[in-house]
Amino acid sequence: MASAIRIDGKAKAAELSEKIKEETAALAGNHGIKPGLAVVIIGEDPASQVYVRNKKRTADACGFHSIQHSLPADVSQRDVLDLVASLNEDKAIHGILVQLPLPDHLDEHQITQSIAPSKDVDGFHYINIGKLTAGDTADAFVPCTPAGCMLMIEDHLGADLSGLSAVVIGRSNIVGKPMASLLLARNATVTITHSRTKDLPAVVRGADIVVAAVGRPNMVGGDWIKPGAVVIDVGINRVETEVDGETKAKLIGDVNYDEASEVAKAITPVPGGVGPMTITMLMANTLRSAKLAAGLVD
């Protein structure tokens, strides 16, 4: 019998979405401003199509001005950059998101860095990354997944993490590094680990907070977890399993949920944990961008 609190990302995201909806209605009513989100999708990647559909549906539900640009897989780099440049200039658009991964012939770095930092609601522009690292986030955007993880951690441990140790497994620019910056800003003592870390289980075992973002199914076993730790599983791994003689795809995390939930204080499931929060934080960033553009954020 699992003893950990199951952190319900769906419920948390729904609660936040309601607040975003209310603030969006107030912004439109009081100032005539509607947050605008433009999503650019290139090619036919099925997972990307699902993500983009979810983002558009959520943006519409929040009352945003939401547009989607679907470009063919063989689109030129120049055409993508021209589209981003026109969106940078469009005053009705406050957030620009280019869905990754991109087809191989496109330069992902050049495209993501061409988005105006003030509209970079994914938080991937080096100016936003630099501000986050420096702890100067007043007008910066934090990547959506770490921002969502942070809210879930605060629910269980409070906003001040002084005296607590956190281990982040994974060093990506999208999750691992920004997650470490956010935890540091909350006074946690942070260790970033990765595939080259010596005796990884022992390092993780010392942590009061574990954020797993490495992309390896069930890598983190229950014996890696310190009793009473808060465990945030960012991994989304699609694995084939056999059910009644049929092969089906199943989503599982980087953490062995059944084992870890016997030991942890609180843990996110996969699916239904971090995923729903990521899209909601994208909406929160877009709303904030609209307010910043109108000078309505102190």
Active site residue 77: no
Among residues 12, 55, 226, 265, which one is catalytic? 55
Measured CA to CA, the distance from residue 166 to residue 70 in angstroms comes to 40
Measured CA to CA, the distance from residue 297 to residue 223 in angstroms comes to 45
Query: In terms of C-beta density within 10 A (0-12 exposed, 13-18 middle, 19 or more buried), how is residue 29 classed?
Result: exposed
Active site residue 265: no
Active site residue 68: no
Measured CA to CA, the distance from residue 50 to residue 181 in angstroms comes to 30
Name the DSSP class of 255: B
Residue 148, C-beta contacts closer than 8 angstroms, at least 6 positions apart: 9, 13, 274, 277, 278, 280, 281
The DSSP result for 132-195, as a single string, is HHHT--TT----HHHHHHHHHHHHHH-S--TT-EEEEE---TTTHHHHHHHHHHTT-EEEEE-T
Q: Are strands 237-243 and 246-252 parallel, antiparallel or unpaired?
A: antiparallel
In angstroms, the first-to-last Cα distance of the chain is 48
User: What sign for the dihedral angle of Cα 72, 73, 76, 79?
Assistant: positive
Among residues 119, 120, 122, 254, which one is catalytic? 122
Among residues 12, 99, 226, 291, which one is catalytic? 99
Residue 42 near residue 102 (C-beta atoms within 8 A): yes
CA proximity to 37, closest of 73, 77, 69: 69
Measured CA to CA, the distance from residue 134 to residue 128 in angstroms comes to 10
Q: How far is CA 298 from CA 38, 138, 186, 288, 290, in A?
A: 25, 9, 21, 11, 13
Residues designated as active site: 55, 99, 122
